[in-house]
């Protein structure tokens, strides 16, 4: 007659024996520290491998929230093509470009500039309902204002003149542009 062990005794035995799985090799060597490479012979080297990609890359991987650009330089943000999310095809994107230029003092001594958005064929409009443009200079930060809000943008180039309030006649300014997940800082001297 065969004897049956209670479940409470069988579980610890199964856990200790690995439940019939192949045995794992245990080594006494510590894991390699980060930044240490191993050459093909298996011996560690002190070489550091740079991550792939160019830091100046404006692709989706290269664009970083809050990246800083010079006045007149375009901040590039990829957008999926299609009218609805279910129409988006993986890897099919077009670049929306934001540019701040023509930065100069207004007759009243405030900072005036031009914000340009270049919108490619996306199969839909690009909304700017949550567009927030702010200026920082000489310890002051405040919103930029415009008399012609952009609204929903069709394919093409869209330009609006903006003004920042604050201290009179600053020599340089930082203009922060945020639209949804797009965020870029433009900095430079005031002309």
Which tens digits make up the pLDDT trace of 25-78?
444 444 444 444 444 445 444 443 333 434 444 433 333 345 899 999 999 999
69 vs 17, residue with greater confidence: 69
Report the chain's terminal Cα–Cα distance, integer Å. 99
Q: What is the mean pLDDT of residues 144-162?
A: 94
User: What is the chain's Cα-based Rg?
Assistant: 29
Strands (E), the chain: 37-38, 44-45, 67-70, 74-80, 93-105, 111-119, 126-127, 132-137, 140-145, 152-153, 156-164, 172-179, 182-189
Pair of tokens at residue 79? 């957008």
pTM of the model: 0.64
156 vs 17, residue with greater confidence: 156
List the CATH code of the domain at 67-189: 2.60.40
* Percent of the chain's residues with pLDDT above 70: 65
């Amino acid at each position: 007659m065969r004897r049956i062990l209670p479940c409470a005794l069988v579980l610890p035995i199964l856990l200790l024996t690995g439940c019939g799985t192949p045995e794992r090799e245990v080594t006494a060597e510590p894991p390699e520290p980060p930044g240490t490479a191993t050459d093909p012979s298996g011996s560690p080297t002190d070489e550091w491998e740079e991550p792939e990609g160019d830091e100046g890359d404006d692709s989706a991987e290269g664009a970083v929230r809050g990246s800083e650009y010079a006045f007149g330089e375009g901040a590039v943000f990829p957008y999926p093509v299609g009218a609805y999310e279910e129409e988006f095809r993986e890897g099919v994107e077009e670049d929306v470009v934001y540019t701040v230029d023509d930065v100069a003092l207004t007759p009243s001594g405030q900072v005036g500039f031009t914000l340009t958005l270049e919108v490619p064929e996306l199969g839909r409009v690009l909304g700017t309902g949550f567009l927030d443009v702010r200026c920082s200079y000489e310890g002051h930060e405040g919103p930029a204002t415009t008399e012609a809000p952009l609204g929903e943008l069709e394919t093409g180039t869209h330009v609006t003149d903006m003004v920042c309030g604050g201290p009179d006649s600053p020599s340089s300014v930082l203009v922060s542009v945020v639209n949804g997940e797009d965020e870029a800082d433009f900095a430079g001297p005031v002309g």
